Amino acid sequence: MKHCLILGAHSDVALAIAHQLAKEGHSLWLAARRFQDLEPIQKDLEIRYGVPVACFAFDAEKPESHQAFVEALPECPDEVYLVFGYLGPHPGSLEHPTDARRIVQVNFAGAVSVLQALALAMQKRGKGAIAGISSVAGERGRKSNFLYGSAKAGLSAYLDGLRNYGYHHGFHVCTVKPGFIRTAMTAGMDLPKPLTASPEQVAKATISGLRKKKGRVYVLPIWRWIMCLIRNIPDSMFRKKQL
């Protein structure tokens, strides 16, 4: 039985990951800002799968609390799934500085802060694995979401570097890029079906990629080729597009 920590345990993707891990018989540590909302999730997982589930309060926007959060865990987790993120209502705007700060704080600064503490614990133990959910939005800045995209670009670069560091210190890091996902948040949006994954697909690809020690995982392989094309459009053309 592995001890698996899920950061941002409220989301549809996090719940899909939790169900798959519980089905495999692993112990779950659920962490989220709305700690009180985790209790029904905890009870459902325990009853449905007969595995131990513990809940912890965690706030990505309070990096000063992250070291204490990690130290309060029963032990160093075997696997960490970083699932939290924040798109915000203004992911590509100059007129909402508060939202801009939150986008960067949650998606990049908060993620780096907690992963630093967890990676250090894994380094001291000599083993462990981390999966970070990033985004294809980080592969090229677009005017529609340049704040969110830049924060995810930073996260992807950090995860890549941490993976190279971890190789020499006994732990592995996997970067996951889902593309569009069918969730409660995107309900009603006109998303292209061939490019849109379900939370269960994201969960399966994430867990499988981590166990196979993959470096980067595109949940739907088509996104690898789409982003290759987008990255290679000349700036003179790209800036004119309504993207």
Closest CA to 185 of 57, 44, 15: 15
Catalytic residue among 49, 148, 158, 218: 148
CA count, 13 A, side-chain hemisphere, 187 = 4
Which ranges of the chain would DSSP assign to H, the alpha helix? 12-23, 38-49, 66-72, 97-104, 111-125, 146-167, 199-211, 222-231, 235-238
CB 99, CB 90: distance < 8 Å: yes
CA distance 134 to 136: 7
Q: Is residue 148 among the annotated active site residues? A: yes
Active site residues: 148
